[in-house]
Amino acid sequence: MLTVFGTDKNKIGEFEDYDSFVSFIASQEKPKRLQGRSGWWGFACYSAGKLHDVCARKDPGYLTIPQLKSLEDGLGLIEIRRGDCSEIQEIPITSEISIEDLRKKFCVDYCQDKRWLVIEFVTFMPSLKVLERNQCVACSPVSNDQPPQREQANKHNSRLKEKLDCRMTRLKQNLRFATLTS
């Protein structure tokens, strides 16, 4: 979950993930693009088939080196435009490329350009260890030679709670610091 705040500390929006935030950015940048103005931001991810269809309409002399390489190797392509940057970043999609990391970096760069604050909330759900089929930790039999399973589970849960409390404190401190420096 992402929450984005503007320079006036008003909430711009909440987004499920970076993909939905990229869609929001595209909707914000669409008027610039349609008016033919320079300086718009965009993140596009083309599958191999879609790239082939798009490039089939272009003159071969107008294809870029990454486009040609992607077409030859049957790969998809990521195209990134960052505002006033005159050059478009094109990256062939290989197994080494993390599209999610590139999408996240694009969103963070956009927020920095706009002087927006983006906060990413990560949910953490601890899971109970199942000892036997249909038998949970709290209901497990207790033997005399080892500590009770329920006590171990309680210790584990209290450690998780301490870690979560520590992370929440740091998050609140970072949020206060970011608010003070804005």
pLDDT computed for residue 128 by the predictor: 52
> What pLDDT score does 180 carry?
58
Reported as half-sphere exposure (CB side, CA atoms, 13 A), residue 36 has a value of 0
Residue 120 Ramachandran class (φ > 0 left, ψ -120 to 50 alpha, else beta): beta
- Name residue, tokens 């610039």: 32
> Bigger pLDDT: 86 or 122?
122
Q: Exposed (0-12), middle (13-18) or buried (19+): which is 92, by Cβ within 10 Å?
A: buried
Distance CA 110, CA 164 (A): 29
- The residue among 112 and 129 whose pLDDT is bigger is 112
| Residue 96 token pair | 């080494």
Summarised one tens digit per residue, pLDDT across range 21-75 is 999 999 999 888 888 777 889 999 999 888 888 888 887 778 888 888 898 899 9
Give the model confidence (pLDDT) of 140-158 as tens digits.
444 445 455 666 667 767 7
The helix-helix angle for 65-73 and 48-56 (nearest 10°) equals 120
Residue 15's Cβ-count burial label (10 Å; 0-12, 13-18, 19+) is: buried
107 CB neighbour count, 10 Å cutoff? 25
Strand arrangement, sheet containing 76-81? 42-46, 76-81, 89-93
Distance CA 34, CA 58 (A): 20
Closest CA to 80 of 64, 59, 63, 103: 103
**The predicted structure's pLDDT at residue 169:** 74
Residue 126 pLDDT exceeds 70: no
> Is 81:88 a contact under the CB 8 Å cutoff?
yes
Sequence spans of domains, the chain: 1-123, 126-182
pTM more than 0.75: no
- Lowest model confidence (mean pLDDT) among 8-12, 121-125, 149-153: 149-153
